[in-house]
Amino acid sequence: MLVFTDTSDLSQIQRPSAVAIGVFDGLHRGHEVVLATLLDNAQGCATTVLTFDPHPANVLSPDRDFKLLQTVDQRIEQLAKQDLDQVRVVTFNEERAQQSPEDFIQEVLVEQLGAEVVVVGEDFCFGRNRSGTVQTLRDAGERWGFTVLACSSYGEGVEGRFSSTMARKFLKEGNVEGCQTVLGRCWQIRGLVVEGDKRGRELGFPTANLLIDAHQVVPGDGVYAGATRINGEWLPSAISVGTRPQFYENGAVLVEDHLTDFDGDLYGQYLDVAFIERLRGQAKYDSLEALIAQITTDVQQSRQVFKDFAPFGETLLG
């Protein structure tokens, strides 16, 4: 799959193209409906996803501190599994936000991509003040010669339909199982392993302290059973998300990953960590002995969850 950004040689884009437009954050089961529609209706054109980075919400409402399910790199990696020909990543900035829908259509869809088929969700909006709609695309399609397909539904999901908003809501609640229902697979976080205060090692359970992208969502506080990818292999892990009330009154929220069956130096590496099941909430214990006993139980449970989950791993871990 080819990837084109604003700095790429856009003359190398495959044309004509069939284009699905959207941010595709999380690439959930609803997005898969859009992509399936694209693949089924490409009519011999190069199958293309047109996506945006950064997320428009972070440009249009910078004070909102909008969080993403994935980094753009994770999004592209997930799209690469969908049998697509190419991805066009458009930089979303103030200038792009002020562009009229008509100018966007001409510049990107017509001149860059040579679009003959355009697929969007039924509520798709774009352009200055979100003034462009599906009907705007259809009117332009009559003028420029492309067909527009609007998916009538992203599929019936939890509390209505599958959406990135619902997945983020589940994660913030610590409901990683609910998020898995929306995504169709385990949600994963990616982080750089950095030095921490080594308390986990002192307790007998060394952890990888993960530095997370500032715009990536973090699950609700708690302890989770999960899996961590090391050298292409998924290994069981117990993941702590929270402020560590045992040691700090107002600590920063940290994501700490204990690989239950691994011993090695991970500093400076990026880890992909999948969240399978929430084991418990964050708690403060009467003694370090009680904390260690609880962590021992957490690790045992994590191993068992991973073992039970293993038959589904290839599908649900991605």
Q: What is the pLDDT of residues 93-112, one digit of tens each?
A: 999 999 999 999 999 999 99
Q: Is residue 70 part of a domain?
A: yes
Quick one: which H or E segment has residue 237? Answer: strand 233-242
- For residue 236, the enclosing domain spans 185-316
Domain boundary among 157, 176, 197: 157
Please choose, from the candidates 58, 91, 81, the residue with its C-alpha nearest in 3D space to the C-alpha of residue 216: 58
Q: Backbone phi, then psi, for 137, in 5-degree steps?
A: -65, -40
Report the candidate in 177, 303, 283, 301 with the shortest Cα–Cα distance to residue 221: 283
108 domain-assigned: yes
Contact 116, 16 (CB under 8 A): yes
CA distance 123 to 30: 13
Same domain? 67 vs 190? no
Q: Last residue of some domain: 142, 157, 172?
A: 157
Note whether 153 and 6 are same-domain residues. yes
Alpha-carbon gap, residue 255 to 250, rounded angstroms = 15
User: Could you report how far apart the first and last alpha carbons of the chain are, in Å?
Assistant: 17
Considering the domain architecture, whether residues 97 and 211 belong to the same structural domain is answered as no
Contact 315, 274 (CB under 8 A): no
- 79 lies in the same domain as 194: no
Which CATH number belongs to the domain containing residue 82 in this structure?
A: 3.40.50.620
Shared domain check, 257 and 119: no
Following DSSP, what letter does each residue of 252-310 receive, concatenated? PPEEEEEETT--S--TT-EEEEEEEEEEE-----SSHHHHHHHHHHHHHHHHHHHHHHG
Let me know if residue 23 belongs to a domain.
yes
Q: What are the residue ranges in the chain where pLDDT is below 70?
A: 152-160, 198-200, 202, 204, 245-249, 251, 311-316, 318
Two structure tokens written together for 204 = 């007998």
Q: Which residue has the tokens 């991973």?
A: 306
Q: In this structure, are 67 and 128 located in the same domain?
A: yes
Residue 143 is assigned to a structural domain of this protein: yes
Distant-in-sequence contacts of 159-165, Cβ < 8 A, 24+ apart: 161/30, 162/28, 162/29, 162/30, 162/31, 163/28, 163/30, 164/23, 164/25, 164/26, 164/28, 164/69
The answer on 80 and 22 residing in a single domain is yes
244 domain-assigned: yes
d(CA 159, CA 169): 12
Q: Are 67 and 18 in contact (CB under 8 A)?
A: no
As a whole number of angstroms, the distance between CA 304 and CA 306 comes to 5
Task: Answer yes or no: is 175 within a domain.
Answer: no
Cβ-contact 55, 145 below 8 angstroms: no
The pLDDT of residue 158? 44
Query: What CATH number did the domain enclosing 220 receive?
Result: 2.40.30.30
Question: How many domains does one find in the chain?
Answer: 2
Indicate whether 33 and 134 sit together in one domain. yes
Q: Distance between CA 18 and CA 305 in Å, rounded?
A: 42
- Whether 88 is covered by a domain: the verdict is yes
The predicted model scores a pTM of 0.90
Same domain for 308 and 194, yes or no, is yes
- For residues 74 and 205, membership in a common domain is answered with no
Residue 163 lies in a domain: no
CA distances 267 to 75, 196, 251, 301, 303, Å, are: 24, 10, 22, 26, 23
Q: Are residues 102 and 6 in the same domain?
A: yes
Q: Which DSSP category does 106 fall into?
A: I
The answer on 202 and 118 residing in a single domain is no
